[in-house]
Amino acid sequence: MFFVVVNILICAAYLCFTITLHRGWSVLHSHDVCQKTPVSATIVMVFRHLGIERLAKWKKNMSGQSIEVPTMVGNDDLWRIGKKKALHRVMSDVSTPFALLTDGDTSVSLRWAEAVTSACGGNDLLLLPVRMGVDGDAKGWQALWQRLQALEFASLVGSGMAMCGIGHPIMCNGAGMLVNTKRWLESWQDLHPEIPSGDDIFLLHSFKRRKLLIDYATGHDTVVSTEPNRTVADFWRQRTRWTSKAGAYSDRDTIAVGAFVAIVNLLWVITLCRPLCFLFFWIVKSVADYTFLRRLKILYHDGYTLSLTLLINLVYPLYALITPIAGILKRKNW
């Protein structure tokens, strides 16, 4: 009886959470989408090692913009002082009211800068949808591995966008954000310079605490595409790096959602000793996830299938529990 009650409770809680995400996504996409006057911005591209060819491609794409957006690129010398200090040095030199932050290994549309700066409105921070691309020529395990990564990444970004829709942003990605330059510099000390990563999420938390205006862009031209990890080891290093800064979080929304996800997954793992209970929640969660993920076409173009959702949910409970623990215990380096 205990496991049956636990199963019913976690199913009900998760369904309520999914309904909240649906509502947030609908609210986010109901915003006024009329074209606004573009704000003046400087592109700040973050990278460790950026090849000549990729840099040339970026400059070519940006030269096609009908709005002039100068580009500033951090170099290897800046990385020697750490990413956050390098960003601070570059942001201090930005003369435009806004900075358009992205990574050197991303891809964007030809109208990206214009679309983003036109969507800013009166916001101090405009978060951009980041999509993980899939290599159409990949075969076998590599093709499946990339699709699973893209699906998991889309669920993270989509959930973050939906939470922003209901006024409680909890996630962002430094590969895509338009930020008020002055506000960024004012929040510099809140970025925890002593922690190697997390400049994006700590910036979001700082802006929320200061009650600045935050929104998510939803236009297809505002999407930033990033590449999947080639190996499981690369994926693991990335995820543990992301979670390694969790101990420094102070945002109540982020802590509450993180605790909720951890509790749900812990209870789900406990039901493994009752296979029928585990199977029931596995099916309920997968169907609930599938109904939400189908709305995220802006983040995932490869076609959602219930079978893929069922597959990823087989390993997700343990993954969601182990990754934060491993991240917190991880040696702090970039």
Q: Apex CA 131: angle with CA 127 and CA 137, to 5°?
A: 165
Dihedral sign for Cα 125, 87, 61, 65, please.
Answer: positive
For residue 224, pLDDT beyond 60: yes
Q: pLDDT value at position 53?
A: 60
| 53 domain residue, yes or no | yes
Classify residue 204: in a domain, yes or no.
Answer: yes
- 128-142 pLDDT, tens per residue? 999 988 776 767 778
Q: Does the residue 192 lie in any domain?
A: yes
On whether residue 314 sits in a domain, the answer given is yes
95 domain residue, yes or no: yes
How far is 245 from 235, CA to CA, in rounded Å?
Answer: 17
Residue scoring higher pLDDT (303 or 51): 303
Beta carbons within 10 angstroms of residue 236's beta carbon = 16
- The count of domains in the chain is 1
Q: What is the pLDDT of the chain when averaged over all its residues? A: 82
Burial class (CB in 10 A: 0-12, 13-18, 19+), 276: exposed
Output the CA angle 239-208-236, nearest 5 degrees. 0
Query: Tokens 């496991």 — which residue?
Result: 3
The pLDDT tens digits for 167-192 are 999 999 988 999 999 999 999 889 88
- Taking only Cα atoms into account, the Rg of the chain, rounded to an integer number of angstroms, comes to 20
Residues 252, 229: Cα–Cα separation, whole Å: 31
**Residue 116 is assigned to a structural domain of this protein:** yes
Residue 68: pLDDT band (50, 70, 90) is very low
Beta bridge mates, 100? 43, 178
Does the pLDDT of residue 160 top 70, yes or no? yes
Chain segment 225-282, per-residue pLDDT in tens: 988 888 888 888 888 888 888 778 889 999 999 899 888 888 888 887 888 888 888 8
| Angle value at C-alpha 11, between 276 and 327, nearest 5 degrees | 95
Residue linked to tokens 């029931």: 280
The Cα angle at residue 212 between residues 206 and 216, in degrees rounded to 5: 95
Task: Report if residue 334 sits inside a domain.
Answer: no
**Residue 134: per-residue pLDDT:** 77
Query: What is the share, in percent, of the chain residues with pLDDT greater than 70?
Result: 84
CA atoms of 173 and 27, how far apart (whole Å) = 21
Specify the residue for token string 């009211």. 97
How large is the average pLDDT for residues 288-308? 80
Res 114: pLDDT: 87
The model's pTM is 0.88
Confidence of residue 80 (pLDDT cuts 50, 70, 90): low
Condensed to tens digits (0 to 9), the pLDDT of residues 83-105 reads: 778 788 888 888 889 999 888 77
pLDDT score, position 8: 82
Residue 310 in domain: yes
> What is the residue range of 251's domain?
2-329
d(C-alpha 35, C-alpha 64), whole Å: 19
pLDDT of 186: 94
d(CA 59, CA 169): 32
Give the model's pLDDT for residue 19.
92
Q: How many CB atoms lie within 10 A of CB 81?
A: 11
Q: For the domain that residue 31 is a member of, what is the CATH number?
A: 3.90.550.10
Phi, psi of 119 (to 5 degrees): -90, 0
